[in-house]
Amino acid sequence: MFQEDVGQILFKCKSKYIDIRKHEKERYGKHFEALQSIIFGILKSESSQLDILIAEYCLEGSVGDNIKIAKPNEFDLVFKLQFPYYESIAVTRDPKIPGNVLLDMTRVLELLENDPREDYQGIRKLLQIQLVDAQNFLVVDKLRSWLQSLFSQALNRIAYRVELADGVVSQLKYRTCGPAHTIVVYGDYEYSVDFVPAIRLAAKQNVLLTEQLMYYNRADLLYWEAVPKPLKIQTETSSISFRSSFYSAEKLMLLTKHKNCRNAIRVMKKFRDVKTNLGHLKSYYIKTLFLWKIKQEPESYWKKALLVILDDMFEDLAEHLKRGVLPFFWDPELNMLHDLTKVQVSEMYRCVQRFLGALRGAGIRQKHTLTRLVLRGFSKPSSS
């Protein structure tokens, strides 16, 4: 009974401070859809090559996974670039960077050279002149520069402003960060959109040989992606190294579990936002924690009380932070905390460990103490 009472308090906190209001979700969703339609329309008119290459674009990240919290103010829109003869791209594991792959376009260029179609000749020239190195490997920064030029041209054409809803004019700003080309919207609607390019590859081209790939195979997916994520470390391959992405499989892993799985992720993200010293705890780190838990636990685990799941997940998080290691789900050789300093990781560990200790101590003492802790830990309004 005690646990049920505190669980109800937690549920009320989730409803008030974590869940996105339906009318806001619909309002911002319509504005976002109109914006992305305009942006992609202009981008494609600026470049016939890009028009050919974009196979599809889809909403990913927290909104795509239905784990976004508080406000619909961030969208991750991934646009899949499918090169002609893409199945002939020679994909190899990066020997220096776990979880990453190298994309050799040599055979693709040979096939394009022998293809008389004018639009394919345009793709061949784009690759040779702007996107590959002397050995015909696709280059991360060259792809970023080409797309940056197109985004800048597109936004210049509309003078960095759009009128999308009820005569309301929104101002736009553009920046690049990591693999994303980010457009920030100002005015009555305020949010950001990360336009993230990804190279589409066939399932048979996968080269990451881990048991986790059973989740990809179960989903019966035709494709996976390689994302041009710039690297902080410099190696002899870093300029041509792309991060493997199996987002569609991850999404299916989350969606097929009891709702408590996604609710627990939302609550942990809220805790992260409330605690100022958890700023380096990325949403994908939290998601990765849950991917590993899904692998370890039976289906019935996610039907447990939300408070019980949270206790387990905070313990798992604390343990990973204590060791300074959080393996990338699709290639455990990659430590996702590698880019952080020891001080940053230690600070996060102490914060999580303090809360976990207080949570368990309060549970032992009395209900009102635990209730107060839950309210303090998850109830602060935020803009996340």
Domain CATH number, residue 180: 3.30.460.90
97, part of any domain: yes
Cβ within 8 Å of residue 47, ≥6 positions away: 150
Paired tokens of 211? 């048991």
- Residue 323: C-alpha distances to residues 289, 338, 340, 345 (Å): 14, 12, 13, 9
95 and 180 belong to one structural domain:
yes
Residue 264: the pLDDT is 92
Tell me if residue 191 falls in helix, strand or coil. Answer: strand
Question: Could you tell me if 135 and 105 lie in one domain?
Answer: yes
Q: Is residue 12 part of a domain?
A: no
Asked whether residue 112 falls in the same domain as residue 230, the answer is yes
- Shared-domain flag, residues 42 and 156: yes
The reply to whether 290 and 359 lie within a common domain is: yes
User: What's CA 290's distance to the chain center, in Å?
Assistant: 14
**218 and 95 both lie in a single domain:** yes
Question: Would you say residue 251 lies in a domain?
Answer: no
Domain end among 191, 216, 246: 246
The reply to whether 7 falls in a domain is no
Could you give the CA distance from residue 231 to residue 10 in angstroms, rounded to a whole number? 39
Per-residue burial over 254-263, b if 16 or more Cβ lie within 10 Å, else e, is beebeebbbb
Classify residue 384: in a domain, yes or no. Answer: no
Is 330 inside any structural domain? yes
Q: How far apart are CA 139 and CA 7, in angstroms?
A: 50
Name the residue among 200, 210, 177 with its Cα closest to residue 103: 200
pLDDT value for 315: 96
pLDDT at 151: 98
| Residue 270 falls inside a structural domain | yes
Question: Which of 192, 216, 246 is the endpoint of a domain?
Answer: 246
Per-residue confidence (pLDDT) for residue 367, from 0 to 100 = 54
The CATH number assigned to the domain holding 335 equals: 1.10.1410.40
Task: Select from 246, 274, 304 the last residue of a domain.
Answer: 246
Residues in the chain: 384
Residues 281 and 350 in one domain: yes
Q: Residue 282: what pLDDT?
A: 94
Model pLDDT, residue 1: 41
185 with 75, same domain: the answer is yes
Give me the pLDDT at residue 214, please: 85
pLDDT at 362: 52
pTM: 0.90
Residues of the chain with pLDDT under 50: 1-2, 4, 364-365, 382-384
Q: Are residues 193 and 53 in the same domain?
A: yes
Judge whether 8 lies within some domain: no
- Residue 172 and residue 185 in contact, taking contact as beta carbons nearer than 8 Å: yes
Contacts of 71 (CB under 8 A, 6+ apart): 20, 24, 383, 384
Per-residue pLDDT at 91: 98
Give how many domains the chain has, as a whole number: 2
What does the pLDDT read at residue 17?
A: 72
Q: What is the domain range of residue 58?
A: 22-246
Residue-wise pLDDT tens digits, 195-236: 999 999 999 999 987 788 888 888 888 999 999 999 888 899
Do 87 and 218 have their domain in common? yes
pLDDT at residue 48, as a whole number:
96
- Asked if residue 220 and residue 99 are part of one domain, the reply reads yes
Cβ contact 105:132 at 8 Å: yes
Same domain, 261 and 231: no
Going from the C-alpha of 70 to that of each of 25, 27, 30, the distances in angstroms are 10, 14, 18
